[in-house]
Amino acid sequence: MGQLVRELPPCGFKRARGMSPYQSLVRAVAHQQLHAGAAERILGRLTALTPGPLFPSPEELLALPEGALRAVGFSTAKALALRDIAAKTLEGVVPSLRQLARLDDETIIQHLTAVRGVGRWTAEILLIRLGRADVLPSDDFGLRSGFRATYGGKLLPTPLKLRAFGERWRPYRTVASWYLWRAADRARPRPAAKSRAKS
């Protein structure tokens, strides 16, 4: 990891500001298994369903007619997940930003994974976006690829192996995650440059 830090630019991790856990979860669900551009288009159509500048509040989302979420591009599973995120935000299961500040990471993960469609990976990514310094989403394919590129080996490490190895990076596992993601980017094969056609 020390060599990786020396070879790559300084950590550019930045906290996402002005976004509530509810908003972050809605965005995370929209992006699941979709290209970023497609997810953003769906979120744009979701925003257009209500008059505000942001996508619907929990109350507004739950008041949408049945089928409205499907109509803007969400699958049935994702539409159900969004409605559960909204409902559990109103119930207090999804904490507010102020509540998050008083909770430790594992307690937050337990709260968030009680929501339909939100697994541990999604909860950990949300924690990173909220600025938590010691998060290692060991199920993440990119992190595991970055670990293999940095430490060698033919096979990707299992999440369990990465989690155990990552104990040495406490209390800055978020920074280690950032560097492993950059290592995965650096190791990804680049498409060969096309030769110019002869005129």
| Residues tagged active-site | 140
- Cβ contacts of 180 within 8 Å, gap of 6 or more: 4, 142, 143, 146, 147, 150
Q: Are 126 and 137 in contact (CB under 8 A)?
A: no
E strands in the chain: none
Q: Which helix (H) or strand (E) holds 39?
A: helix 36-47
| Other Cβ atoms within 10 Å of 102 Cβ, number | 8
